Amino acid sequence: MKHIKDITISIFAIIGFFTVLTGYSSGTLENEVGTYQISSNTGMVYKMNTKTGYIIQVADRVIEKSMVNGDDGK
């Protein structure tokens, strides 16, 4: 009976360890790929995922300039 009790406690300890381990590693942000609608209002920039409807506020420091209609972004 003691052997079964030790095995059961060990299994729960392993499950708890992996639960804690995966809880700490899931906080990383991924680069989102999708179709977005971009909007700005009073200095704030927002992007809306057209598939899911989620709206995300974007900090202006992460927006890279790109070439549009012959403009070199300078």
pLDDT tens sequence across 8-57: 999 999 999 998 887 776 555 666 677 878 887 777 788 888 888 888 88
Write down the pLDDT at residue 14: 95
Residue 31, both tokens? 């680069």
3-state secondary structure of 73: coil
Whether the Cβ atoms of residue 34 and residue 51 lie closer than 8 Å to each other: yes
pLDDT of residue 15: 95
* Predicted pLDDT at 27: 58
Confidence at residue 37, expressed as pLDDT on a 0 to 100 scale: 81
Instruction: Give me the pLDDT at residue 57, please.
Output: 81
Residue 48's contacts (CB-CB under 8 Å, 6 or more residues apart) are 36, 37, 38, 39, 54, 55, 56
Whether 52 and 67 have beta carbons less than 8 Å apart is answered as: no
